[in-house]
Structure 1
Amino acid sequence: MQLSGAAPASSPAEVQAFLKSNSIKIDSPDGPVTPLLSFDQLAVPEELRSCFSTFKQPSPIQACTWPPSLQGKDVVGIAETGSGKTLAFGIPALVKLITNKAALQSPGVSILVVAPTRELALQTHDTLSAIGKPFKIASVAVFGGVPKDPQVKMLAKSRKSKDSTTKIIVGTPGRILDLCNDGACDLSGVDYLVLDEADRMLDKGFENDIRNIISQAKQGAERQTLMFSATWPESVRRLASSFLRTPVRVTVGSEELTANSRVEQVVEVFDDSRSKDSRLMALLRKVAHKKQASPEESRILVFGLYKKETARLEETLRRQGYSVGALHGDMAQTKRMEALDAFRKGETNLLVATDVAARGLDIPNVGLVVNYSFPLTIEDYVHRIGRTGRGGKDGKSITYFTGDNHERSLAGEFSRMLRDSGYPCEVLSQKFPMTIKKKEHSVYGAFFRDDIPAPKAPTKIVFD
């Protein structure tokens, strides 16, 4: 496959200005990396360029990870939510496939993407399927909550036929490992491996599953590995050091968790949690009034904390006459996908969800995120509000804070997050203690040693 010609590289002065303005740090053991500041500088098949038609220029994480990825190097990408990470690893994956006739003609899959949730896996699968379609390259999504048989049949077809176009697997760790253990999934031909939202998978106890999956792919120099994460905690560093080969590390912003700078953050403090319903209804009436002038602003994602709370909110809003969808763990997977699809298409402009929708999902034109109930961690808060302000657009979040239960213990850290983002909340700091709890390891608590490996989880963890 002939690659289209690329424009000349940017000057050193342009590169330095770009790195400084976007707070980018690049650690490259094998020499400097020159970011691609325009799509014209990207040497890819012409058919792939349709992916960029709606964007003016590469996002920072794309600009800096494409060069080493296209050279076959291992890459670690650390960037905030909504930064374009799917195309950051998707474009090099497709280029590697379509420029390698042997890979295309041999049976079996050669690209594996591991994601923490079913919805993110399906979203990534859809994106890779779309960009691979001009080249007749197909992907199969494997995740729990749906029957195995269709997934098994797709995988069997890819193994047995040299003419099979299925070269990509995107899935969640549990289902991938299940299919491998059943003998239905063969990863021995995987030479391009991606871990997406690596910090989430490790925090939820998937480390042993991930290591098991990686052990079944090609090893050493035969495999290119890319890891993308919103943060760079010690657990992610340990995993990266154990199976990446002198990776290029690109950090956009901070290696610590930071909120999307394009999202305006508003906090409303309540003395009584029962007031939240009436406040939410007033907000929705106000936004609905603006619908004709700005339909994008009327698309709202409301987060509840628990499944029962989310179901109650959906029913309450439906009784008030709103066309509303829901997304939570008590729903069948098909219903979850239908609700998400309707929200993406704009058939419903209101979606109530648990944190199953907080990570990685790319839902276009969400104008507002409402945290009806505060999440269990500040990390989840950052990922929730990251559902708006995506693709270079601005967004807004409104958070209802009551100080009930777990909220009081997070008030100090939350206040610091708001202050660092430029949206300080004086009421919050006046009403609640500003102590900041020491960061805890998900297994060992606040007093853990980094050199002790995490024990194997006694039970299988399944995401809601």
Structure 2
Amino acid sequence: MHFSDLNLCPEINQAIKEQGYESPTPIQEKSIPAILAGRDVMAAAQTGTGKTAGFTLPMLEMLSKGPKVRSNQVRALVLTPTRELAAQVWQSVATYSKHLSLSCQVVYGGVKINPQMLKLRKGCDILVATPGRLLDLYQQNAVKFDQLELFVLDEADRMLDMGFIHDIKRVIKALPEKRQNLLFSATFSDDIRALAKGLINDPIEISVAPANTTAKTVTQWAYPVDKSKRTSLLKHLIKTNNWQQVLVFTRTKHGANRLVRDLEKAKINAAAIHGNKSQSARMNALNGFKLGDVNVLVATDIVARGLDIQELPYVVNFDLPNVYEDYVHRIGRTGRAGASGEAISFVTADVAADLFGIERLIQEVIPRKIEAGFEPQNPVPESKLDTRPIKPKKPKKPKKPKANASTNDKVKAEAKAASKPKKKQPSAQSKPQGNSTTNKGRSDKKGQTKRPKRKPNNVKFNANK
């Protein structure tokens, strides 16, 4: 099948052709006709399979035939979990709508809100947003949804992982009831299905790949190495193989900063991107990496999804992820849209259990490579694939009602009061405090308190007056 067979207008097909694409991916082939038919859609596919274009292309086709957008109004809303993903979706929309007279804006936190409010005054056909900033704009009447026709929830599973469920519900409550809903996710967990019940009406469910499978275009390797030699191994691989563009994942922000400093000392152009960085610093690092000014981008899982770099050749897991599903998303930054890529993971003896957990999740043993000169002194145990099915995650327990919360607060207050040292009460045999404010009387030898004698009045009383 070709894109020309999907009933898209000539302007969209021209933009697709200019990007070098001829045939749709499986998720695009199945989702685009369903969306054009006006159906609500739940779509799941592994990362790097073109989910964004799967909803962007039909959305543009439908909006190109509609009415003109009014002031502060929005005709289509795309909700994403992170700023980077919002910028990526917005760029995709701008690319495919370049020959159409449609407007698109992107809003997210970390930057000033006033310029975003000014851009929304004229209204926009498509708004890409993160939940928190969108709600801020809505509360200030900078954005309205009376004209909304289409609502897209992108990376829904990541949304729930990041704790956006309450923000999502508040956004949905602000939208008109009559609308078309699209939910795109990497997986269909129980939590996703529970969310879909209150969002989607009689949906078409599309799933083109088993959950937690890695792209066949990505070659995976596990490098056993001692923890103290990981940085040296990374420098060695970059210089020996002349890597010009590599994305490196760490578990922590401080670890990312430290690794960048070590790489720069070795005269390797590197930059870090994580939650502690300002939005401008994050965008500068990302743009520098895309343009080739930065050879190594060191990131936390903030960009495990949504980062789309054409033909990114290498991804390195400097640290294995805490959440095994993130491994699939990390290595999915390479091998995208049919291109080949290589994913390398550094494995130390103390994280062997994480390697086994990842292999159980993807149901394959990751081949190992030992680099000469970096043989580990603490060997990593051999893998033995665990083929037992993984039980689905239990839904999170609801919060306790307020009544219980107040009881807990009362118990805490009582415990805090009990921990404070008590003030000593004056005993019957204690010495009097003189004319203090706490003891206005005088004590006799037996400890009894007498009333103080009143001072004589010096004013003479004349009875004859």
Do these two structures clear the TM 0.5 threshold for a shared fold by scoring above it?
yes
CA contact 1:111–1:167 (8 Å) conserved in 2? yes
CA contact 2:215–2:332 (8 Å) conserved in 1? yes
* 2:278 aligned residue: 332
Other structure's SS at 1:331 match: coil
Q: Which residues of 2 match residues 81-100 of structure 1 at below 5 A?
A: 81-100=47-66
Q: CA deviation at 1:136?
A: 2.6
Q: CA deviation at 1:85?
A: 1.1
Question: Over residues 325-375 of structure 1, what are the superposed CA-to-partner deviations in whole Å (9 max), with x where a residue is unaligned?
Answer: 221122111011011112122232321111111112111121010000111
* 1:294 aligned residue: none
Read off the aligned partner of 1:140 and give its amino acid letter. Answer: Q
* 1:42 aligned residue: 6
* 2:224 aligned residue: 269
* 2:191 aligned residue: 235
Question: Over residues 107-157 of structure 1, what are the superposed CA-to-partner deviations in whole Å (9 max), with x where a residue is unaligned?
Answer: 611100000100000111122123223223121111111111111111223
* 1:279 aligned residue: 233
CA contact 1:408–1:433 (8 Å) conserved in 2? no
The alpha-carbon distance between structure 1 residues 433 and 402, as it changes in their structure 2 partners (threshold 3 A), is farther
Question: Over residues 154-179 of structure 1, what are the superposed CA-to-partner deviations in whole Å (9 max), with x where a residue is unaligned?
Answer: 12232xxxxxxx21110111111122
Question: Over residues 172-227 of structure 1, what are the superposed CA-to-partner deviations in whole Å (9 max), with x where a residue is unaligned?
Answer: 111111222232221232210101100000122111111110121121xx201111
* 1:23 aligned residue: none
* Structure number having the greater helix percentage: 1
Other structure's SS at 2:106 match: strand
Which residue of 137, 158, 172 maps to 1:200? 158
Other structure's SS at 1:178 match: helix
Question: Over residues 40-63 of structure 1, what are the superposed CA-to-partner deviations in whole Å (9 max), with x where a residue is unaligned?
Answer: 202122111133221131011000
**Higher alpha-carbon Rg:** 2
Other structure's SS at 2:121 match: helix
Distance 1:455 1:263 in 2: 48
Other structure's SS at 1:315 match: helix
CA contact 1:403–1:432 (8 Å) conserved in 2? no
* 1:259 aligned residue: 214
CA contact 1:415–1:424 (8 Å) conserved in 2? no
Distance 1:230 1:177 in 2: 25
Unaligned runs of 5+ in 2: 370-378, 406-465
CA contact 1:188–1:216 (8 Å) conserved in 2? no
Other structure's SS at 1:243 match: coil
Distance 2:385 2:218 in 1: 26
Q: CA deviation at 1:421?
A: 4.0
Q: CA deviation at 1:435?
A: 11
Which residue of 32, 49, 73 maps to 1:108? 73
CA contact 1:264–1:423 (8 Å) conserved in 2? no
* 1:126 aligned residue: 91
Q: Which residues of 2 match residues 288-299 of structure 1 at below 5 A?
A: 288=242, 298-299=244-245
Q: Which residues of 2 match residues 331-370 of structure 1 at below 5 A?
A: 331-370=277-316
Q: Does 2:135 correspond to 1:177?
A: yes
The alpha-carbon distance between structure 1 residues 43 and 432, as it changes in their structure 2 partners (threshold 3 A), is closer
Distance 2:196 2:114 in 1: 33
* 2:456 aligned residue: none
Q: CA deviation at 1:103?
A: 4.5
Distance 2:262 2:94 in 1: 38
CA contact 2:15–2:97 (8 Å) conserved in 1? no
Which residue of 39, 49, 68 maps to 1:73? 39
Question: Over residues 45-86 of structure 1, what are the superposed CA-to-partner deviations in whole Å (9 max), with x where a residue is unaligned?
Answer: 211113322113101100010111011111111001111111
Q: Which residues of 2 match residues 151-170 of structure 1 at below 5 A?
A: 151-158=116-123, 166-170=124-128
The RMSD of aligned alpha carbons is: 2.6
Distance 2:197 2:2 in 1: 32
CA contact 1:203–1:442 (8 Å) conserved in 2? no
Q: CA deviation at 1:454?
A: 11
* 2:428 aligned residue: none
Distance 2:33 2:400 in 1: 34
* 2:445 aligned residue: none
Distance 1:411 1:310 in 2: 21
The alpha-carbon distance between structure 1 residues 106 and 91, as it changes in their structure 2 partners (threshold 3 A), is farther
Q: CA deviation at 1:425?
A: 5.5
- Number of paired residues? 391
The answer to which of 300-309 and 435-444 deviates more is 435-444
Distance 1:130 1:400 in 2: 37
Q: CA deviation at 1:104?
A: 4.5
Identity of aligned residues (%): 36
Read off the aligned partner of 2:215 and give its amino acid letter. Answer: N
Which residue of 209, 219, 223 maps to 2:167? 209
Read off the aligned partner of 2:337 and give its amino acid letter. Answer: G
Distance 2:172 2:132 in 1: 13
The answer to which of 426-435 and 204-213 deviates more is 426-435
Other structure's SS at 1:228 match: strand
Question: Over residues 210-249 of structure 1, what are the superposed CA-to-partner deviations in whole Å (9 max), with x where a residue is unaligned?
Answer: 1110121121xx2011111011100001111222111111
Q: Does 2:366 correspond to 1:423?
A: yes
- Structure 1 residue ranges (4+ consecutive) displaced by more than 4 angstroms after TM superposition: 103-107, 424-429, 431-439, 452-456
* 1:449 aligned residue: none
Q: CA deviation at 1:98?
A: 0.8
CA contact 1:378–1:410 (8 Å) conserved in 2? yes
Unaligned runs of 5+ in 1: 1-36, 159-165, 292-297, 445-451, 459-464
CA contact 1:415–1:429 (8 Å) conserved in 2? no
The alpha-carbon distance between structure 1 residues 216 and 235, as it changes in their structure 2 partners (threshold 3 A), is same
Distance 2:221 2:317 in 1: 10
Q: CA deviation at 1:305?
A: 1.1
Question: Over residues 289-337 of structure 1, what are the superposed CA-to-partner deviations in whole Å (9 max), with x where a residue is unaligned?
Answer: xx6xxxxxx3210111111110111111111111222211221110110
The alpha-carbon distance between structure 1 residues 173 and 142, as it changes in their structure 2 partners (threshold 3 A), is same
Q: Does 2:254 correspond to 1:311?
A: no
